[in-house]
Amino acid sequence: MKQIKAVIFDMDGLMFDTETMYYKVNKEVADLIGMDFSYDYYSKYIGISDEEFHRNLYLDFNDDEKVTLFIKKTSERLIEVIERDGLIKKPGLLELLDYLAENQIKKVVASSNINSVVSFFLKRENLEGYFDYFIGGNEVKRAKPDAEIFEKAWSDLGVEKENTLILEDSLNGIRAAYDAQINVIMVPDIFEAGDEEIRKTLAIHKDLQQVKNFIHDTHALLTM
């Protein structure tokens, strides 16, 4: 492993514990308007872009009026919940961000969520100052598992790929990082690592504190 000079962060499920919140909001609105929305259905689309999720909603439910209302109401309700309660930060997030800042390691967010939501989340939790910039899923043509979002996030860093590290929680994100030929560490969220995740990652750690320790130990070995 080369010295790490830049880290690209996924957001949902990696920085924030959002998937449970998303499902609760979706389920609440679905019940209100009479849509048969289950966790099994929701879990099929974890890790994909909002655009792709919405496209599948129209295809799967075959009721354009109800799906359009669902999308509108879930977006409104989500903002209400986050403005009221905030977001749950993943263990070790602040420690990792502080360590990277102290060591002049660049930081970027590359999320499947749209950039306005990424901005809202970072500002709500006072984290925007940590990052050099962020990329939302609406800024690329092809969502994860396509590598485009990581290629775009990396392209303005001014750092070689071998000195860049991606942090991901989902298989689609790991596939995208692997195809971008950038080392990726998995921090599992909803789903545990399987054979493909193990094969395509540099390491698998239980939380971001362990990631911080890994980066610190890697740099210590390189300077010995």
Q: Is the Cα torsion angle 197, 198, 201, 205 positive or negative in sign?
A: positive
**Structural domain 6-17+88-222, CATH architecture:** 3-Layer(aba) Sandwich (3.40)
In the prediction, which pLDDT does 52 show?
86
pLDDT at residue 223, as a whole number: 67
Report the pLDDT value the prediction gives residue 82, as an integer from 0 to 100.
95
Summarised one tens digit per residue, pLDDT across range 158-178 is 999 999 999 999 999 999 999
Domain boundaries of the chain, sorted by first residue: 6-17+88-222, 19-85
Write down the pLDDT at residue 220: 76
Share of the chain above pLDDT 90, in %: 86
- Predicted confidence at residue 224, as pLDDT, reads 58
Give the sign of the dihedral formed by CA 140, CA 13, CA 77, CA 125. Answer: negative
β-pair type (183-186, 133-135): unpaired
Q: Which pLDDT value is given to residue 46?
A: 83
Average pLDDT, 10 consecutive residues per value, the chain (224 residues):
93 94 95 95 84 93 96 95 95 98 97 92 97 95 94 97 96 96 96 94 97 92 69
